[in-house]
Amino acid sequence: MILAAGLGTRLRPLTDDRPKALVEVAGRTLLELTLARFRAAGICEVIINTHHFADMIAEYLRAHQNFGMHIEISYEEVLLDTGGGLKRAAPFFLDSDEPFLVHNVDVLSTIDFDRMLLFHREHKGLATLAVQDRPTSRYLLFDENNFLCGRRAGLTGESELVRPVAEPRALAFSGIHILSPRIFSVMEEEGTFSVIPMYLRLAGQMEPVLGFPADQYYWRDLGRPEYIAEASGEISEGVYLG
Q: Which residue has the higher pLDDT, 26 or 177?
A: 177
The string of pLDDT tens digits covering residues 28-51 is 999 999 999 999 999 999 999 999
CATH class of the domain defined by 1-106+218-242: alpha beta
d(CA 228, CA 235): 10
Confidence of residue 230 (pLDDT cuts 50, 70, 90): very high
Count helices and strands (H / E) in the chain. Answer: 6, 14
Kindly report the number of other CB atoms within 10 A of residue 216's CB atom.
10
Percentage with pLDDT > 70 across the chain: 98
Q: Sketch the domain layout of the chain as residue ranges.
A: 1-106+218-242, 111-217
d(CA 60, CA 106): 17
Q: Is 222 exposed, middle or buried (0-12, 13-18, 19+ CB in 10 A)?
A: buried
Which residues are CB-neighbours of 8 under 8 A, at least 6 positions away? Answer: 14, 15, 19, 20, 23, 52, 106
Strands 219-221 and 107-109: antiparallel
Q: What is the pLDDT of residue 103?
A: 98
Stated length of the chain? 242
Q: Mean pLDDT score of the chain, rounded to an integer?
A: 94
Whether the predicted model's global pTM rises above the 0.85 cut? yes
d(CA 194, CA 189): 9
The string of pLDDT tens digits covering residues 90-107 is 999 988 899 999 999 999
d(CA 232, CA 26): 5
Which residues are CB-neighbours of 80 under 8 A, at least 6 positions away? Answer: 5, 49, 87, 88, 191, 192, 193
Task: Check if 1-106+218-242 and 111-217 are the same fold.
Answer: yes
Please give the average per-residue pLDDT across 197-201, as a whole number. 98
The string of pLDDT tens digits covering residues 137-195 is 899 999 999 999 999 976 567 889 999 998 999 999 999 999 999 999 999 999 999 99
Domain spanning 111-217: CATH 3.30.1330.40: no
3-state secondary structure 66-98: HHHCEEEEEECCCCCHHHHHHHHCHHHCCCCCC
d(CA 213, CA 6): 27
Q: How wide is the angle at C-alpha 150 spanned by C-alphas 144 and 154, nearest 5°?
A: 125
Bridge partners (DSSP) listed for residue 45: 70
Kindly report which listed range (12-16, 114-118, 126-130, 177-181) carries the lowest average pLDDT score.
Answer: 12-16
